[in-house]
Amino acid sequence: MADHPVDEKLPALKMATTGLQHVAAMYAGVVAPPLIVGAAIGLTATDLTFLTGACLFTAGLATFLQTLGIWKIGARLPFVNGVTFAGVAPMTAIVASTEDKSDALPIIFGAVIVAGLLGFLAAPVFCKAIRFFPPVVTGTVITLIGISLLPVAFGWAQGPDPTAHDYGSATNLGLAAVTLLIVLLLRRFTTGFVKQIAVLLGLVIGTLIAIPFGATDFGPVADAAVIGFPTPFHFGAPQFQLAAIISMCVVMVVSMTESTADMLALGEIVDRPADEKTIAAGLRADTLGSAISPLFNGFMCSAFAQNIGLVAMTKIRSRYVVAAGGGFLVLMGLCPMAASLIAVVPRPVLGGAGVVLFGSVAASGIQTLVRAALDKDNNVLIVAVSLAVGIIPITAPEFYHAFPETARIVLDSGISTGCVAAVLLNLVFNHLGRGGRDAHDVTHPMEAGEELTGTPRTPAAS
């Protein structure tokens, strides 16, 4: 019996190039949190480079846990794990409230360790929520994942620094558009292996095109060391403060919610639906990876949604490809010069490729919604309201500005709020009581249902 495509082991060259493509797609997301937190602390350039390398290294370890797995740990799906951006706001808040900035990272690391261990213990309970994720919920959440990621691509397309004079310039947007065009042409007019690595080729060609425009900076390669190891507890032994621990536990809940949605999404894409056992194993990998990460000076880890788009687009479903990407991440953590090569890719070029990747995620969500019986009025309402709630942080970023910072950790994540809304609405409309209304077809979400007696309407003659 042939292996499932998820368990397929590809030839070495194909494994390496497609694995590197995954790293290119998620690199910016991994290095952004340490750069932001490190800048808030006021780290030196050397320490900032060290912190960034440590996050790459720990992302690789977490990816190994998720893709290869040990015991009951790891979803064994093509998931890339890395530093979750949900932790940036609370971590910078911890930095701001710490008088001695040298204590900030040890306090953050202590809080992440505790949150990771508690999350690991809670995984078997948390995963039981899977029965509340039918296609109407998963399709909505997958669509929101793609929609929520698209503004990231648009931001990259404008440039790396919003305060720079050329941010959003015609040159930057042009480079993004050219990269997008290259990826589309490669996908349309090539076949086989070249077609599968279209995104990687687009990034390489886009970077070369950017050189004459001065958008490609090779400085990071020249300044980077060849070998470096993330020495355990480089910034000091972890410290445990209750307020910091509580804030990171909230982030862990958000992260576990998003990871659950991501696993369900990826399970649909690779044709290996994520059941309760798979989700529990995946959450254990996320949380254990997070608990181990601070040992090597890394932050909380979570599944990366942007790589789901790459799997959806390339149709390469092998988890070993992503494990190869994890190997590259580990090597980058051990070799700062190698890590700097990915940093050479201009942000606008990444933005152009990101449009394809993130748009593919949203398209996968729409495909799932096709199976969600949207001819039923209840399901239409669930999708309509959940999408609206999830899009709030994207279209109105300051909508929740009056809420406490702790609450905004959840509210400012469209994926989390949309997921919660979809689960609750599905529970109310399709589980509680008789849930009878969803048995009837409608042509408009506000069309009247059946009579109060529950007598079904007679369908109109066609």
Question: For 97-154, what is each residue's pLDDT tens digit?
Answer: 788 888 889 999 999 999 999 999 999 988 877 677 788 887 887 788 778 778 878 9
Residues with Cβ < 8 Å from 197, sequence gap 6 or more? Answer: 17, 18, 21, 314
Please name the amino acid found at residue 111.
A
Q: Which residues pair with 441 in a beta bridge?
A: 376
- Nearest alpha carbon to residue 425 among 127, 136, 130: 136
If we measure between CA atoms, which residue out of 19, 139, 165, 16 comes closest to residue 78? 19
Nearest to 59 by CA among 107, 13, 27, 102: 27
Output the pLDDT for position 442.
Answer: 41
Gap between the terminal Cα atoms of the chain? 47
Looking at the domain assignment, is residue 421 inside a domain?
Answer: yes
Of the pLDDT bands very low, low, confident and very high (cuts 50, 70, 90), residue 185 is: very high
Q: What is the pLDDT of residue 448?
A: 39
Please indicate, yes or no, if residue 179 is contained in any of the structural domains: yes
Paired residues of 303 in beta bridges: 81
In a domain, 197, yes or no: yes
Alpha helices (runs of H) in 2-103, residue ranges in sequence order: 12-41, 45-67, 88-97
Can you give the pLDDT at residue 228?
Answer: 73
Domain count, the chain: 1
Q: Collapse the DSSP code of 374 into the 3-class scheme (helix H, G, I; strand E, B; otherwise coil) and give the result.
A: coil
What does the alpha-carbon distance between residue 262 and residue 144 come to, in Å, rounded to a whole number? 11
Say if pTM beats, i.e. exceeds, 0.75: no
What is the distance between the alpha carbons of residues 266 and 255, in angstroms, rounded to a whole number? 16
Q: 3-class SS at 163?
A: coil
Contact, 109 vs 297, CB < 8 A? Answer: yes
Give the Å distances, CA to CA, from 436 to 137, 423, 446: 18, 18, 16
- Residue 343 pLDDT level (bands cut at 50, 70, 90): low
pLDDT mean over 5-31: 82
For residue 454, being part of any structural domain is answered with no
Q: Which residue has the higher pLDDT, 220 or 403?
A: 403
User: Which residues are bridge partners to 81 per DSSP?
Assistant: 303
| CA-to-CA separations, 398 to 85, 402, 403, 457, in angstroms, rounded | 18, 9, 10, 44
Give a yes or no: residue 444 inside a domain.
no
On whether residue 309 sits in a domain, the answer given is yes
**452 confidence band (pLDDT: 50, 70, 90):** very low
- For 73, the 3-state DSSP assignment is strand
Domain-embedded: residue 102: yes
Q: How far is CA 337 from the centre of its chain?
A: 25
pLDDT at 45 over 70: no
Helices 135-158 and 242-269 pack at an angle, to 10 degrees, of 110
Give the pLDDT confidence score for residue 274 in this predicted structure. 83
As a whole number of angstroms, the distance between CA 126 and CA 118 comes to: 12
Matching residue, tokens 């690391």:
109
Query: Which residues, 6 or more positions from 314, have their beta carbon under 8 angstroms from its beta carbon?
Result: 18, 21, 196, 197, 198, 199
Residue 447: is its pLDDT beyond 60? no
pLDDT tens digit sequence for 85-97: 767 767 877 887 7
pLDDT reading at 382 higher than 90:
yes
Other C-beta atoms lying within 10 Å of the C-beta of residue 276: 13
Please name the residues in contact with 151: beta carbons below 8 A apart, sequence gap of 6 or more. Answer: 394
Please report whether residue 441 resides in a domain: no
Where residue 435 falls among pLDDT bands split at 50, 70, 90?
low
Name the most confidently modeled range: 142-146, 218-222, 259-263, 425-429: 425-429
Range of the domain at 372: 5-430
